[in-house]
Structure 1
Amino acid sequence: MKNFLLVGFLCANLAGYAQIDYHLHDSLLLEAYRTYEKEDHKKAIALYQSAFRLNGAGRPVDYLIAANSAAFLEREDISKKLLVEAITKKKTEPGTIQSFSDNALYQKCAENVLADYDKLLNTYYTSIQNMALYQRIQALVQRDQFARKIGNYYLGISDKDQEQAFDAYLEAQQRKDTLAMAKNKAILWPQKSEALNDMELGVIRNTDSLNIVALIDIVTQFGWQDEAHILLWHQRGTYGQKDWVWDFFIPFINNEIKDGRVEPSFWAMFEDFKSIQENGTTIYGYHPGKVNAKEVNAKRSSMGLPQLTEAEIEERNQNPYGGRMF
């Protein structure tokens, strides 16, 4: 009964918010995911659609989960629409869409939608208001990713090799085929010489420094850009220290939060990561990791995050390095 009251309360209040209510949005997405896990697909779709109307999806997978729920209900029209939005709003890649579910109707919808993938992807790009700015950020992200793969490229391991090895590793794990697991593990996590490791680390450090200088210039002119999150995340090792990076970004992001341009929970993942490194537990239970069962929900409230259930708290503590980010 509580869940139905929550759904009614959340949905009824959607119309009353002129600005984005990030707490409401997060609550809808979390409750939708919980409902999906319980296989109540009708209710899950209603919650997801309410969240999407408010502020789109949090991550591409939200659209895929909702599309899968629609497929279970044999709502081909809704499933297709949600898969289209996964591409036009989140630039979700074909492989991610295809591999998400084995449901026959979902697969049919995916095949139909992906036939128009290039056209739909063009819709995503044409919706970008400042293409020059977008391209500047993408250039930094690409440089960031290249630096982190330079060791693999030196060893002759391509991105496609690792994608195939990942799928093969999971299949071998299910079969308990230790030889196949070892073979694919060597591609996913190749052994590198000390010299290669040192070279790669040096490239990464220099790249991160160059990127963060460029990012400061960009956000000073245009405000925070969500596409650039990974660049700041790769500075997390020094988060909380007094240095030129955080002396700029902490007050800058806090001001963006104050003005409603960034979600209040922005720092939750950074704070959790820092706490894991220092204490072995998270503060907010947002990043995977153990939590303090007595304090976590009070901490989450202070950050504008929805409450965790007792079962979710237990799962965090039983399986601290698994599960999704809440």
Structure 2
Amino acid sequence: MIIDQEKPDVKKYIRQCIVSVLLAVLFSGCSLDKTPGAPFQYRKYQEAAMEQFMDEDYLSALENFRKAFQVNPSKLENDKFFAAASALQLGKDEEARDYIISAIEENNANRAYFDSFDHFSEFRSNEVLVEIGRNYSKHQEVYLANIEHPEIAREIDSMIRADQQVRTESSQLNRMKAVDSSNIRRLIEITKAYGWQEEAWIILWHQRGYYKTDNEVWNFFYPFISAEMERGKVNPDFWAMFEDDKSIREDGVQIFGTYSNNYDQFPVKNISRVDELRDSVGLPSLRFMNKVYGAAMPSNYHLVN
């Protein structure tokens, strides 16, 4: 039986979690570099670069982004956008252009994300951003032309649009359930035939209300994605927010602190070990998230970290 993502008792806090989901997406879904030590090296350079960017030390930030991309040139579009913003601040427009186009053509960076990225705001009239915006769809076609099954990517995109549309219009709950059920059934078929599709995370997330329970969805996806994690094809932080959601529903507490807007209502279970637990699955510290993304921190965090 295919089930809906949200049990009634969860709905009271779902609307408060949108920012937490967006932050989680920034750190989930990219393929891991299988070179020994590479993920650690990438994180070291990336986190240093992000902190330097927030300190407006754009030259050091750009240098560390370059080092990170040498370790793994195909990482998240978020990092490439920040690298581009660093380059723009330094007047290195061509380098910025290369990072942005790479984010689109190699990482399928969403147009809405490009348009809303705050650190491009002061450069919107820059010819580099104007030209990229003008040709955005052409760069997206390059991405589709270079992947193995572009028709599946287009179908996933259509499924996600349906998922989001039903949540933004005044649809009845039954309509949302119907869309979720259709999407997850098709996603199971696609995953069996073509493997896990990174962009489909939000579709699986909308089945979180029954995470790890004995049903058709989770009897398939949990062992499948866990095996992909073991093979280094899915990031080790993939289940972190699912685990926090399950822990909140069952015990009212978080494990990894991924619900940053809900610390008062749903505190972190073991605040003295939260950064250690986050690090074990490849998530940055809560201090880093606060400094770089403005994410809230638990009120007792400073006492033990």
Gaps of 5+ in 1: 1-15, 152-198, 321-326
Structure 2: distance between partners of 1:310 and 1:132:
38
Contact 1:23 1:305 in 2 (8 A): no
State the number of aligned residues: 257
Structure 1: distance between partners of 2:284 and 2:242:
18
| Greater mean deviation of Cα atoms: 260-269 or 86-95 | 86-95
In the alignment, what sits opposite 2:273? 295
Deviation string, structure 1 residues 53-104 (Cα, Å, up to 9, x no partner): 415232x333222211111112122112122223223344555434433334
TM-score (norm 2): 0.72
Deviation at 1:294, TM superposition (A): 0.2
Contact 2:46 2:68 in 1 (8 A): yes
Tell me, yes or no, if structure 1 residue 56 matches structure 2 residue 74.
yes
Contact 1:301 1:307 in 2 (8 A): yes
Mapping 1:9-20, distance limit 5 Å: 18=35
Contact 2:104 2:140 in 1 (8 A): yes
TM-score (norm 1): 0.68
Deviation string, structure 1 residues 246-283 (Cα, Å, up to 9, x no partner): 12211111111111211111101211223344445432
Tell me, yes or no, if structure 1 residue 76 matches structure 2 residue 93.
yes
Contact 2:287 2:297 in 1 (8 A): no
> Identity percentage over the alignment?
31
Tell me, yes or no, if structure 1 residue 267 matches structure 2 residue 284.
no
Q: Tell me which structure has the larger Cα radius of gyration.
A: 1
Relative contact order (C-alpha < 8 Å, sep 6+): which is higher?
2
Structure 2: distance between partners of 1:132 and 1:105:
32
- Aligned counterpart in structure 2 of residue 103 of structure 1, from 85, 105, 122: 122
Structure 2: distance between partners of 1:95 and 1:245:
30
Deviation at 1:21, TM superposition (A): 4.1
Indicate how the Cα distance of structure 1 residues 128 and 201 shifts in structure 2: closer, same or farther if over 3 A, else same.
Answer: same
Contact 1:273 1:282 in 2 (8 A): yes
Q: Which aligned runs of 4 or more in structure 1 are off by greater than 6 angstroms?
A: none
Indicate how the Cα distance of structure 1 residues 23 and 78 shifts in structure 2: closer, same or farther if over 3 A, else same.
Answer: same
Mapping 1:122-271, distance limit 5 Å: 122-151=141-170, 200-271=172-243
Deviation at 1:304, TM superposition (A): 3.5
Indicate how the Cα distance of structure 1 residues 31 and 308 shifts in structure 2: closer, same or farther if over 3 A, else same.
Answer: farther
How much is the aligned-residue C-alpha RMSD, in angstroms?
A: 3.1
Deviation string, structure 1 residues 174-228 (Cα, Å, up to 9, x no partner): xxxxxxxxxxxxxxxxxxxxxxxxx521111122122212111111122211021
Report the AA paired with residue 200 of structure 1.
Answer: Q
Indicate how the Cα distance of structure 1 residues 32 and 269 shifts in structure 2: closer, same or farther if over 3 A, else same.
Answer: farther
